[in-house]
Chains A and B, each alone.
Chain A
Amino acid sequence: MPQHNWLVALKTSLPVLFGYLPLGASFGVLFSTQLDYAWWIAPLMGVIIYAGSGQLLAVTLLVTFTGLTQVFIAMLLLNARHVFYGLSLLDAFKGAGWRKPYLIFGLTDETYSLLTSRARSEDKKREQQIDFLITLFNQGYWIVGCGLGAWLGRALTFDATGIEFALIALFIVLCIEQYKALQSSFPIWLGFAAGLLSLLLFPASQQLLIAMLLICVVLFWQYPANKHRYQNHLARGPVDE
């Protein structure tokens, strides 16, 4: 008897809980100490916008009453890396019906990481239901974090310095999981090199995007040499790894 979908999703998303509560809370604290709006606007932004770095930037832009056109462009640029996320989930989300818009809406760095790293069965329908629940739980943690931070504001005294490392630890864990699943370390080294290169050469706000562009370029470049493998897959239908 397979585990219930809710349980699988809860277990998979639990690591994100430890990252999103403090991260959402730091946004909430920033929001309520920098701005004069009602505290519940912060979790509301978590519901409607749902983007970590985007919401942090939003506080800065709100403080200075930035024009909306400029806000739109700034957010597009900041979130441009998301374009690469969908690329590797086209097939996984295919035919997800009413769940699909929400799956796309909720595709944050962390949700993407969980969805692409977890083991998938042949039962696509069920996997999409689990993907949906993971996305939902993650956003739930985020909203609670935003709300707690904004509500408690400066009163938040618990010394949680360093807890944000949870997300880095999650990315490290998922790197190892990806490596084990692929049985190839090439993309890991590629990503690591691209990340360090852009860390050294480019301003902080553009590092993620440029590094991801670099990986894409290299993957495109080595695609012709690997093409035959996928065509064989197509000819023979779906093939297990």
Chain B
Amino acid sequence: MSNETLYLLSFILVTAAATFLTRLMPFAFLGKHSSHPLAQHLGRYLPAGIMAVLVAIFLPRSAHWQMPVFGLDALVPAALVIVLHLWRRNALLSMLAGTGCYMLIQQQLSF
């Protein structure tokens, strides 16, 4: 095995180990306490909070913030997703419409 192959192989294994470790930790240390009230409290509210964090961080990053657009290139598709989803509550429809709208805007306008 060449040095480069060896490096690549160990690189992949090290990366995989680190990634798996971060996912494993709560189960390894807190697995026995899954019915603890605190675990229930976090289990109930954490997912919604995390979902909102993902939106709050990735949505602004996907927008252009200079004038005259000022974020509308991502905020309009996002609003479309919200309105459609509140109206029809069809996840796939909301996503496809929002993504299509975003793609159209990004490809038509040049920033």
B92 touches A15 (CB 8 A): yes
A176 touches B17 (CB 8 A): no
Residue of A75, A84, A175 contacting most chain B CB atoms (<10 Å) = A175
Q: Does A83 contact B (CB under 8 A)?
A: yes
Residue of B nearest to A116 (CB): B47
B52 touches A195 (CB 8 A): yes
B39 touches A87 (CB 8 A): yes
B17 touches A215 (CB 8 A): no
Number of residues from A at the complex interface, CB < 8 A:
98
- Of A14, A159, A175, A233, which one neighbours B48 at CB under 8 angstroms? A175
B43 touches A58 (CB 8 A): no
- Of A49, A169, A208, A220, which one neighbours B81 at CB under 8 angstroms? A169
Q: Does A80 contact B (CB under 8 A)?
A: yes
B48 touches A191 (CB 8 A): yes
B61: A residues at CB distance < 8 A: 204
Bound: A177/B90 CA distance, A: 11
**Contact A72/B18 with A14-B92, A169-B99 known, Cβ cut-off 8 Å:** yes
Q: Does B37 contact A (CB under 8 A)?
A: yes
A161 touches B46 (CB 8 A): no
Residue of A nearest to B58 (CB): A168
Q: Does A119 contact B (CB under 8 A)?
A: no
Q: Does B69 contact A (CB under 8 A)?
A: no
Q: Does A41 contact B (CB under 8 A)?
A: yes
**Contact A79/B18 with A90-B30, A104-B27, A165-B77 known, Cβ cut-off 8 Å:** yes
8 A Cβ contacts from B2-41 to A: 7-8, 10-27, 30-31, 33-35, 37-41
**Contact A162/B99 with A199-B60, A223-B41 known, Cβ cut-off 8 Å:** yes
- Of B23, B40, B45, which one neighbours A86 at CB under 8 angstroms? B23
Residue of A nearest to B102 (CB): A165
- Contact digits for B94-107, partner A, Cβ 8 Å, 1 yes 0 no: 11101100111111
Residue of A85, A171, A207, A233 contacting most chain B CB atoms (<10 Å) = A171
Residue of A nearest to B33 (CB): A90
A6: B residues at CB distance < 8 A: none
Q: Does A40 contact B (CB under 8 A)?
A: no
- Of B40, B47, B53, B91, which one neighbours A194 at CB under 8 angstroms? B53
A residues contacting B by CB (< 8 A) are 14-15, 18, 37, 41, 44-45, 48-51, 54-55, 58, 61-62, 65, 68, 71-73, 75-76, 79-91, 93-94, 100, 104-105, 107, 109, 112-113, 116-117, 159-179, 182, 186-196, 198-199, 204, 207-208, 211-212, 215-216, 219-220, 223, 226-227, 230-231, 233-234
